[in-house]
Structures are given as C-alpha cells and as structure tokens.
Amino acid sequence: MIHQLIFAAPKPGMTEEEFQRYWLDVHAVHYASKIPQIRRYAIDTRIARPDDRGEPLWSGIAEIWLENEEEQLASLQTPEFLEGARIDEPRWAAFWRTVVLDTDTEVVVPGVPEDTVQPGIKLVLLAKRREGMSVEEFRRHSRQTHAPLVAQLPGLRRYYQSYTRDSWYGISEPPFDAAYHVWFDGLESLRHAERSAQQAAVQDDYKNFLNEQYLHVLPVRQHWVIGPRAR
C-alpha cells in the first residue's frame, strides 16, 4: 500500500483557518474523495502553538492511501482528478510550496486498531539523512536505534515511521527520507513529553543520523475523510 503525504500551504491572501476549512469542507468532500482509486484519505490540520515564530512552511498534510503504482497512475488519469481536484487546487493552495512524498509506512507502536480513529493529536516530523550516510544506513539506524528511543516517550499512544519509497531514489534525490508520526492524547501530553529526559535522549540521537537543518516538525489534528477503514 502506498501512503502518500502531501504537505500544503494556503494561497496568498488566505488565512490558515480559511485554508483548512476549505480543504476539509470543500476540496476533500467535493473533489479529492471522489477519485475512485483512493482507499483511505485523511487531512491533518496544523495546530498553532503559543511559541510559534513566523509563517509556517505548511498548514496541513493530506494522507492518501493507494493500493499500488498502477492504481496511483490510474487515479491521475481520472476525470475526478483532471477535471476536479487538480483544477480546484489553485483556488486555495499555494501549489508551488507543496511537497509530496510517496512512502511505505511501518508500525512501531500500534495504539488502537488501525481501522479505528486514534484519538488525540499527532506530531509529524519530516527527516533527511545525515550527509554521507546511505539510505540503507539511515533506515537501519531509524528502525533499530531511534525508534526504541521514541517509543519510550511518556504519553506516546501510537508511532509510525514512513520511509520514502525506493522508486523515488531512481529518479533523483527526494527532499526527505522519512516522516515520523507520533500520537499523544493532547497538547499538554505532548508538552510533557517534550520536557522529559527521554525527549532529550531522542534529540541527542538526531546528530547520529539526521541533517537537523532539514528537520521539520508539525503538530496536527487528523481528520478522516475516507476511513480509517479502507473502502
């Protein structure tokens, strides 16, 4: 199953709240969800925090699950995409700022069953491997060393690792090598984890396998459009 992540930002003149509402109430319902090949579809809206500084790179993430490459290609040739979702995008999104990743997602901490809604909020971290490290070395460290550190964070409810698919490296160097999804009950639970000694250990490990200049963190709330059970 392809787990596609689309990071998007509002078009000029549109507030983040207007952007998120249009995405959830108009684009998702009337356009994107109509594409028949999409098996599951969620929108993650960014949660603003008091210590935010400046304009965020992205204000939300689309999560789209497709069965395989053939279905993904077919989805891009449907009238629902060509005459619907694609035409609607410039009405609300700064498409030149959009970043897309096709990933394979692995479950580290399962949380509630995957076909039910995981309550609370999610922290999404986009990661790029350290210079000079191979993709294989990056993934091995991420799975064997980093994942156990994150899994011990206080209050963590679910944890997934999404790795950029191998096919992307055959074309060019992708902008990111992985996205990490970490769920908590709420912002207070997240703040508690961020102040913990275990979080210090997690951050200390970044230098061992990440280029921290390209580490991006988004706290989001997940909204299901299709799912969580696949159609």
Confidence at residue 161, expressed as pLDDT on a 0 to 100 scale: 98
Q: What is the pLDDT of residue 190?
A: 97
Work out the pLDDT band at 212, boundaries 50, 70, 90.
very high
Range of the domain at 175: 2-226
How many domains, the chain? 1
Output the pLDDT for position 54.
85
52 vs 24: which has the higher pLDDT: 24
pLDDT of residue 188: 96
Domain membership of residue 17 (yes or no) is yes
Predicted confidence band of residue 142 (pLDDT cuts 50, 70, 90) = very high
Judge whether 231 lies within some domain.
no
Per-residue pLDDT, averaged over 23-30, amounts to 98
The pLDDT confidence band at residue 166, using thresholds 50, 70 and 90, is very high
- 51 — pLDDT class (breaks 50, 70, 90): confident
Report the mean per-residue pLDDT for the chain.
97
Q: How many helices (H) and strands (E) does the chain have?
A: 10, 8
CB 192: neighbour CB atoms within 10 A? 16
Residue 22 placed within a domain: yes
For residue 155, being part of any structural domain is answered with yes
In a domain, 90, yes or no: yes
Q: In the predicted model, is pLDDT for residue 223 greater than 90?
A: yes
- pLDDT for 50: 85
Please report, for the domain that includes residue 187, its CATH number. 3.30.70.100
Average pLDDT over residues 130-147: 98
Q: How much is the pLDDT for 91?
A: 97
56 conformational bin, left if phi > 0, alpha if psi -120 to 50, beta if neither: beta
103-122 average pLDDT score: 95
**Cα dist. 166→9, 101, 102, 136, 216 in Å?**
27, 11, 9, 10, 22
Residue 156 maps to a domain: yes
Does residue 49 lie within any of the structural domains? yes
Give the pLDDT confidence of 72-81 residue by residue, as tens digits.
999 999 999 9
136 occurs within a structural domain:
yes
Residue with tokens 């993709």: 135
